[in-house]
Amino acid sequence: MLNVLADRTYRHLFLAQVVALLGTGLATVALGLLAYDLAGDDAAMVLGTVFTIKMVAYVVVAPVAGAFADRVNRRVLLVALDLIRGLCALALPFVTEVWQVYVLIFLLQSASAGFTPTFQATIPDVLPEEDRYTRALSLSRLAYDLENIVSPMLAALLLAVMSYNTLFLGTVAGFVGSALLVVSVMLPSPVAPTKRGIYDRTTRGIRIYLATPRLRGLLALNVSVAAASAMVLVNSVVLVRGSLGLSDSALGWTMFAFGAGSMSAALLLPRLLDRLPDRPVMLAGAGLTVATLVCLAGGIGLTGLNWGMLLCAWFLTGVGFSAVLTPSGRLLRRSAHPEDRPAIFAAQFALSHACWLVCYPLSGWLMTRFGAIPALVVLAGAGLIGIVAALRLWPAGEAAEVEHIHDNLPPDDPHLKGKRRHSHPLVIDDRHPRWARHF
């Protein structure tokens, strides 16, 4: 897996991702404690609103950013967005009202909505071979897991000797470090071959996404992981600080359990995906998250909540979470031409976060209004609906490429390469008016 780090450009991008996510992880813990300070027992509602604002920014901004990503130098764009995120994080320790948190989070996450899909779409251009890209995806998943493991662990240690507001300075350092690493390498910036209108550019990624069966299945599985992760991210602070009466550091270790599960799965996935198709692996991961929520609800009902039970449940939820999200980049890469990758990665970013947009406030409302068991049962039900939908939308045994005949193009068209009957990835092609036949 680590041999892909021999590529200097990818190595610097990976390190940029790691340091930015370490800082973001510190902010996640600090935001939970800030919400508890500002709102007390209503912290779940505040966090639910914060995450909802984050998702609104992602859903609205990401498609627009993806539409114009190929018109701007990628390195300049990524560095500028990192600096904007750093300035927003720098202001968070000085807030005194909940609404100020909401404004800063919207600005910070709007910058992230432009940064993340552009960053993700750059990786397959840097590593075009699928086996190397698969390993890069696992490393990327490990980087995200550092946000849930190293950051909470570091936060737990720092909180023993300093105020949680200091953690936001670590977030600033992470974004600045990311900007310095990005500016140290040259990045490919593919240019779209045809000029398109604003509407076409903004909606193109979503149209490709929704026209592709495996990506419709991915969207359904996003519902499952969003439901489970919403329970973890929104309600952990209430379960640990409120129900169990544990310390701030205990919250860090609880989030550590979720990240440890996700990282464990990411380490095993490259070899597993060499032997098994993406579909059964991702469905099994979604099934594990649903089963874990149900078992946790049953355990609380029978014996009451204890910390060991919660740690075990969050570990298993992390395993299922990673099993769904890690292979998703492979599906996106297969489903678009290189010039369309920023748009389709932005579509995944927007549509997947639309699932969190629903699940985050639902999770906070259910926890505040009805308690832990109803929240777990309802969110598990939402996850089960996602699995059933994925089974119907994503055909089993789907090939990466489909053989088909073009009856409306000349033999010398570059798309045909001299053959009317040929195979290529399931993607939209503007030169083929009846592109829907590919699906």
Quick one: pLDDT at residue 208?
Answer: 83
Structure token digits, residue 437:
């036949």
Lowest mean pLDDT among 72-81, 190-199, 210-219, 412-421: 412-421
Q: 342 burial class (0-12, 13-18, 19+ CB within 10 angstroms)?
A: buried
pLDDT above 50 for 421: no
Task: Answer whether residue 297 shows pLDDT above 80.
Answer: yes
Residue 56 predicted with pLDDT over 90? no
Q: How far apart are CA 65 and CA 74, in angstroms?
A: 11
Taking only Cα atoms into account, the Rg of the chain, rounded to an integer number of angstroms, comes to 22
Mean pLDDT of 230-234: 89
What pLDDT is recorded for position 364? Answer: 85
Segment 109-117 mean pLDDT: 81
Task: Write the DSSP assignment of 299-366 as a string of letters.
Answer: HHHHH---HHHHHHHHHHHHHHHHHHHTTHHHHHHHTS-GGGHHHHHHHHHHHHHHHHHHHHHHHHHH
Round to whole Å and give the CA distance between 73 and 77.
Answer: 6
The token pair that represents 312 in the structure block: 């075990």
Point out the least confidently predicted range of 125-129, 244-248, 262-266. 125-129
* pTM listed for this prediction: 0.70
CB 428 within 8 A of CB 412: no
Q: How many residues does the chain have?
A: 439
Inter-CA distances, 124 with 10, 20, 184, 337, 342, Å: 10, 20, 19, 11, 10
- In terms of Cβ atoms closer than 10 Å to its own Cβ (0-12, 13-18, 19+), residue 417 is exposed
13 pLDDT band, cuts 50/70/90, is: confident
Residue 16 in this model has a pLDDT that exceeds 80? yes
Tokens standing for residue 356: 């969190």
Has residue 145 got a pLDDT over 70?
A: no
Q: In this prediction, what percent of the chain has a pLDDT beyond 90?
A: 18
**Residue-wise pLDDT tens digits, 150-178:** 766 677 777 777 777 788 888 888 899 98
**Is the pLDDT assigned to residue 59 strictly greater than 60?**
yes
Residue 4 binned pLDDT confidence (cut-offs 50, 70, 90): confident
Q: Evaluate the CA torsion angle 193, 194, 199, 204 in order and state its sign.
A: negative
pLDDT score for 437: 34
Six-digit token string for 14: 């990976």
Please report the pLDDT score of residue 434 as a whole number: 35
Name the DSSP letter for residue 191: -
287 vs 244, higher pLDDT: 287
Q: How would you class 88 by CB atoms within 10 Å of its CB: exposed for 0-12, middle for 13-18, buried for 19 or more?
A: buried
Query: What does the block give as tokens for 389?
Result: 């939908």
Residue 433: which pLDDT band, with cuts at 50, 70 and 90? very low
For the ranges 79-83, 124-128, 290-294, 408-412, which has the lowest average pLDDT? 408-412
How confident is the model over 275-295, as a mean pLDDT?
92
Whether the pLDDT of residue 116 is over 90: the answer is no
pLDDT score recorded for residue 398: 62
pLDDT of residue 209: 84
pLDDT at 409 over 50: no
Give the pLDDT confidence of 308-345 residue by residue, as tens digits: 999 999 999 999 998 998 888 888 878 777 667 777 77
Residue type, 205: G
Domains of the chain by start residue, with CATH: 2-393 (1.20.1250.20)
DSSP track, 106-148? HHHHHHHHHHHHHHHHHHHHH--SHHHHHHHHHHHHHHHHHHH
**Mean pLDDT (the chain, rounded):** 78
* 93 phi, psi to nearest 5 deg: -65, -15
101 or 218, which is more confident?
218
Confidence of residue 71 (pLDDT cuts 50, 70, 90): low
pLDDT at 111: 85
Is 129 or 386 the better-scoring residue by pLDDT?
386
pLDDT of 133 over the 70 cut: yes
**Tokens at 253, concatenated:** 């270790």
Q: Looking at per-residue confidence, does 225 or 200 come out higher?
A: 225
Q: How confident is the model at residue 189 (pLDDT cuts 50, 70, 90)?
A: low
pLDDT value for 331: 84
Q: What is the pLDDT of residues 352-366, one digit of tens each?
A: 878 888 888 899 889
Residue with tokens 């018109």: 71
Would the pLDDT of 190 be above 70? no
Candidate ranges 7-21, 118-132, 294-308; pick with highest mean pLDDT: 294-308
Q: For residue 267, count other CB atoms closer than 10 A to its CB.
A: 15
